[in-house]
Amino acid sequence: MCYKSHINSAGVFLSAVGAFLVWFFIAELNFADRDEYLKGRGRVTIPDPSSAEIKRLKMRIRFSRVGLILILIGGLLQIISNYL
């Protein structure tokens, strides 16, 4: 029954990688000037995006979606391993 622990470990690993991807690619999305914000003088401004910024944002969203999918697959693997 060693495969049960391998499936569970794979699930934990995929969930951890997925959580990292979501955090890394979504947590930094903001339009505030970070230095001014931390001094209590921050304002949110939304400038007109360039085509490169739009492309970068779409890439970040894609990677965060991959992260969510990995979290779901990892959770399912953990549940499945409990019933094997």
Range of the domain at 22: 2-83
User: Encoding tokens for residue 84?
Assistant: 């094997």
Tens place of pLDDT per residue across the chain (84 aa): 578 899 999 999 999 999 999 988 887 656 566 677 778 776 767 778 889 988 988 998 899 999 999 999 999 999 999 888
Count of domains for the chain: 1
Instruction: Supply the pLDDT for residue 18.
Output: 95
Handedness of CA 66, 67, 68, 73 (dihedral sign): positive
pTM score > 0.85 for this model?
no
Token pair belonging to 46? 């939304």
Residues 6+ apart with CB under 8 A from 5: 81
Helix (H, G, I), strand (E, B) or coil at 44: strand
